[in-house]
Chain A
Amino acid sequence: MSISREDVEYVAALARLELTEQETQEYTEQLNSILGYAAMLERLDTTDVLPTAHAVPLHNVLREDQVRPSINHEKALKNAPDGEEGFFRVPKISLT
């Protein structure tokens, strides 16, 4: 399975990454090399094998829904690149 330049551009758009021409070329080569190596997994028959998402079994963790103190507006916004009156400010959302 080989990865085309178009595949890389499509994945970059999914990942919200703007790539330079050089990066697009490099990642096309490198993803081909890495995924070419990963193709060795196909040699293993995993028909009856269940996938492992976590090495330790996970359970839902539930607790009473009690009101507890949390960080305030000022603290929560302190690291924001841009904010105003308790909100995060972002550039306009265009439909394109």
Chain B
Amino acid sequence: MESVSIGKSVSELHELLVHKDISSAELTKAYIDRIQAVDPDLQAYLTVLEDEAMAQAAEVDQKIAQGEALKPLEGIPMALKDNMCTEGIRTSCASKMLENFVPPYNATVTNRLRAAGTILLGKLNMDEFAMGSSTENSYFTKTRNPWNLECVPGGSSGGSAVAVAGDEAAFTLGSDTGGSIRQPAAFCGVVGMKPTYGAVSRLGLIAFASSLDQIGPFTKTVRDNALVMNAIAGYDALDSTSVPYETPDYTKFLVNDIKGLKIGIPREYFGEGIDPDVAKGIKAGIQTLIDLGAEVAECSLPHTEYAIPAYYLIATAEASSNLARYDGVRYGYRADSNDVLGMFKKTRAEGFGQEVKRRIMLGTYALSSGYYDAYYLKAQKVRTLIKQDFDKAFEKFDVLLSPTAPTPAFKFGEKSADPLAMYLSDITTVPINLAGIPAISIPAGFVNGLPIGMQLMGKAFGEGALYRVAYTFEQNTNYHSLKPNLSGEVLTCGSR
């Protein structure tokens, strides 16, 4: 059964289910078998829910048997990053702090995907509390890149990217605070969308930096991505930052035509620090879009270099406040101590990993009396300038285009010793979160046998234009249809 179903797109699987070529139970079992076969190598999953998934699939099969029409995602097996709450199912944030945390409620996205009829296969590995760019900061395990097991999958949604790239789920959700959907999507050769801030409810997403966090889909194809967005986007009264707007049918933007569309190429995204081979690959992709009729011109986002310091001050300040709740009282890990202050300090010292503590320290410092104006307030003002750069660019262009990440996937341990070096690798993704706009990463070629991603950025609530360009590019290239060889052959990072 595996050979006929695994590896297909959501829309193909939907057709198989509608035509009764396969049952949801057979499909779900095929994914469970696949997880058992490849996850010992890939380590994408923290929790696999075989019994629950099979029970959900049986419900869908009953509907099919009764002749009910299937919704686009009904009966489709998927998985969630382990920072999205699932009632009765452990949600760990890949942290010792939440190792045994079982949420009493569902995230809104969990409820919406359940209502859409999807099958939850399990929960996926990530950097602890979504802080990291390689998934090496997980308390539990190291997720490996399916294209090369010696390389990181990117992060923080590494498990979500790998599960799709390695055919361990038909689609997944991740979260993106500074690139955590787009960068792993690029590193693993899949499609990853960070929607506009406020487009998808954050209720039940364990908070990292509340003004930047946004949930979005990982898929094999652009069409699948639009289908998942249709299911998860939209106003939620329970999230006060959710924006009340009428969600379009995102699939209506899937037209193979970009004639006359204006695409801007910000020169700052091709400068210092960008691997020349990555820049070359993305420029080849730009030529493809020109050949397809897009009007392409260079532009400038002059404050780009200031985005990294502004981002790391704002994100850590918000994190230090959000993570103050982990005190060992109401839920999570608790260390023994005979007084309460000692209990707080030991609980947090033992429950958090190094990167989380480093960011709490940085954020607490940036917010502390005497430094607030110099760091946090200054960063918020620079955020305004970065946002204005984008506003100005979108007066002239429909979409902006860049590499998703400066390099292809790097080796385990290569950057983990130097936090600043790891932070600098986020230069192409963090400005987007500061501006609150949507951006998608799509497969755009290979460097040294590793996938690279093309990032398309749009106006707030301009996901449609991104899907149109992404779909057109995909229909005229074949990068998305190439698959990693998971037969066990290990390639070396950086070797040609």
Contact = CB atoms under 8 A, between A and B. Distances in A.
A7 to B, nearest CB: 7
B435 A55 contact: yes
10 contacts: A11-B364, A44-B306, A54-B197, A55-B437, A56-B243, A61-B240, A79-B330, A82-B334, A92-B338, A93-B339
A33 B423 CA distance: 12
Contacts of A53: 211, 380
A42 to B, nearest CB: 8
Interface range for B: 35 or more
> Which of A20, A56, A78 is the most central at the interface, judged by chain B CB atoms within 10 Å of its CB?
A56
Contact of A27 (B105, B312, B313, B361): B361
A45 B315 CA distance: 22
Given A34-B420, A50-B381, A71 B339 contact: no
A16 B312 contact: no
Nearest to A77: B330
B306 A34 contact: no
A23 B365 contact: no
A2 interface: no
Interface in B196-253: 196-198, 211, 237, 240-241, 243
Interface of A: 1, 3, 7-8, 10-12, 14-20, 23, 27, 30-31, 33-35, 37-38, 40-42, 44, 46, 49-56, 58, 61, 63, 71, 75-76, 78-82, 88, 90-94, 96
A51 B130 CA distance: 25
A58 B198 CA distance: 10
B211 A91 contact: no
> Which of A16, A37, A55, A81 is the most central at the interface, judged by chain B CB atoms within 10 Å of its CB?
A55
Interface in B321-378: 324, 327-334, 337-346, 348-349, 352, 354, 357-358, 360-362, 364-365, 368, 374-375, 377-378
Interface string B362-405: 10110010000011011111111101000000000000000000
A11 B211 contact: no
A91 B341 CA distance: 9
B436 interface: yes
B271 interface: no
> Considering the complex of A and B, which 10 residue pairs feature the smallest CB-CB distances, nearest first?
A55-B436, A51-B380, A79-B331, A81-B334, A38-B309, A46-B381, A18-B345, A18-B349, A15-B364, A52-B383
Given A49-B384, A90-B340, A91-B339, A14 B375 contact: no
Given A17-B361, A37-B420, 5 more contacts: A7-B365, A15-B348, A23-B354, A40-B305, A55-B434
B102 A79 contact: yes
Contacts of B420: 30, 33-34, 37
A60 to B, nearest CB: 8
B170 interface: no
A19 B350 CA distance: 10
A46 B385 contact: yes
Interface of B: 100-102, 104-105, 196-198, 211, 237, 240-241, 243, 303, 305-306, 308-310, 312-313, 320, 324, 327-334, 337-346, 348-349, 352, 354, 357-358, 360-362, 364-365, 368, 374-375, 377-385, 387, 419-420, 423, 434-437, 460
Contact of A15 (B312, B360, B383): B360
A14 B364 contact: yes
Nearest to B386: A52
Contact of B330 (A1, A18, A88): A88
A93 B342 CA distance: 10
A63 B237 contact: yes
Contacts of B379: 38, 41
A94 B211 contact: no
A91 B62 CA distance: 52
Given A35-B375, A92-B339, A55 B211 contact: yes
